[in-house]
Structure 1
Amino acid sequence: TSPEDGHRGPGDGRTVPPLPPPPLHHPLREGDDVLARWSDGLLYLGHVKRVDGVKLCCLVRFEDNSEFWVLRKDIHSFCGGGEDVCSVCEAPPLKEPLVNCLKCRHGYHPECHTPTIEPEADSDSWICRQCVFAVATKRGGGLKRGRFARLMQLMKLRLPYQLSSLDWDAPHLTNQQQCYCYCAGPGEWNLKMLQCGGCGQWFHEACTQCLTKPLLYGDRFYQFQCSVCTKGPETIHRLPMTWVDLAHLVLYHLSLCCKRKYFDFDHEILSFTNENWDSLLLGALSDTPRQERCHSLLNALNSHKDRFVSGKEIKKKKCLFGLQVRAPPPLSTDSSLLITDPPVNITHHRRSE
């Protein structure tokens, strides 16, 4: 399987290789088996079809035979061949031998790994950042208990890149380097990501350990602080939502999942809302009796023409509703804050037919 199905990856997603012989560094070549980090923060198994040394990217074929260009920084090889060198700086051992990861067997200079490998680290049980994230990241939120959850929390206290070196667009939604989160992987801000209120960086749902419920696409109604900013566990608080916000969020989520614009009110919009009522964490709206939700949602859809379009306006069934602009709900009731330009994903591109 591969990162198809809209913006999501396959099945459980991650594949961490078994323990091969200690890898010996070599440049990526056609036919190499690799792990490619996708924009959801997870790793997927594939193999290299083509290498572009100028653009520093590779065409990767995934397990369902789909092919995408992936930046070199987001590709992790577990093949061997050549001189034993550090996986980060690609230099040979210095005064001391490299520290090898128990799981993937890649070697590191202690000062090259993030965080620095402590001198007292047990070389027979030490696990690198890459493998910790490969195991601990999950759809709906990372592991919260166990050894890998604890290791992940420690790894998240420092970013493996300089936040100040990233080139952001004006709304601070995307950066040219396609470097986000604790994992330094690609991302798309409107697809299950949280923005830290302290540093402004965006973090994958899969890499966070603070969520009690999975995110919906476009759900930004959270006040979130990353582990780097808190110098410890992440903090998160749900922001209040109105019926208009709820209607907008549900329609946006459905439009991405189903790849359609219009949805039947009773059978899709209301049904989805009721089925996911507890997961929506609606705060003051949570106590609304089931029989009253229909009226409140329908009123929101019919009374905000700036956001929603009904079927009767386009000579379709009046029970159908869609978004005027397919964009996530704004955090303010000011409709001018709606973002009309979709996020640009510069990391993954379909192969030209």
Structure 2
Amino acid sequence: MPVIRSRRVWLGATALTLAFGVLTLTGPAYAGEPTGFGDGSTTEQSGGSNDTTIYAAAKIQYSGSVAKNGATGNVTSSDVNWTPPPCWYAPYLGAKAFKKKMTEDFETAKNTPGMNGTAGAATAEEQRHYEDGFGWADTPGYKDYNVEKDGEGMFWAGVENPNEPDTLKRMACSDLPFWVENGEAPPARYPQAIRPEILAALAYQHMELPDTKVTLAPKATTKVNLPTWAWLDKATFNDVQATAAINVPGFNIQATTTAKPVALKLEPGTDDAQTYPASGECTINADGSIGEPYAKGKSDETPPCGLKYLRSSGDGTYKLRATITWAISWTGTGGAGGDLPDGTFGNEQAVTVQEIQAVNR
């Protein structure tokens, strides 16, 4: 009769979590079409068993406008309280592969998230959990590592977000690996199980937005008390998309995060300046552009988006900072979708301001 009790203990502060790579050993893998969880569907599998393919917790594939080599992108969230997920649970191994790792390479398996390198009685207890049905109040046990269900699901394990600076937060997904049937959602007691919303947040974290270099008239050199027009053309300033996806046997989800430019903020780089409008924030036009290009004959008009310097920059320059606000939304597998906090990204460009009493243009 299996022992049932609660398993809500921290098994070690030096726990290791899985890396993002995929290690494929020799031998056949599943050849069936994966499905997303939550749709009630199952997966036809063929071509052998997945006991020869080890997924390091389902490597996430990024595409679109994303930073290289898994780096964090250049988007800054407008919500200081918003952060991407520090860790999550994702598909790890099929039943036979998990048994093989636990029985033939247990020294390595002990470092699986939730195992945490523990030894002695705790290690024996964890082995019994997968071999003999030993369980806890909220974590049922397994018989012979669920090998009779090989091909019908996968064990899931925790993954650290390598871009999360807080070590304890990264290690929070430390529950023992758990079984999820193909086409089924992970148990509700694992709210950090990977899902489209988490992928959308990770796509946001890795998104790379284009440089924000506004067109100025006059260009890099302007005059004191002369209105300087600023604008961004729609043709050079479009929506940006980033996609994060997981595709392993029995599990296939993705989410695409879209950034749409909605406003431009101008910061002259000195207090001796005025902005148009006074807030310095230029909203997007109906055609997707921002501001209005200068045209001959408008020198006496106030630009809808621009600025005016009131003092010369002397022998140096002012650092005009142009920051774009982007509205962030996402769509994902199964028709999921929603909004994420606005993002911002900007850069600086040098402006020389000369002291000239009269200017004709």
TM-score scaled by length of structure 1: 0.25
Query: Which structure's residues are more often helix, by fraction?
Result: 1
Higher relative contact order (CA 8 A, sep 6+): 2
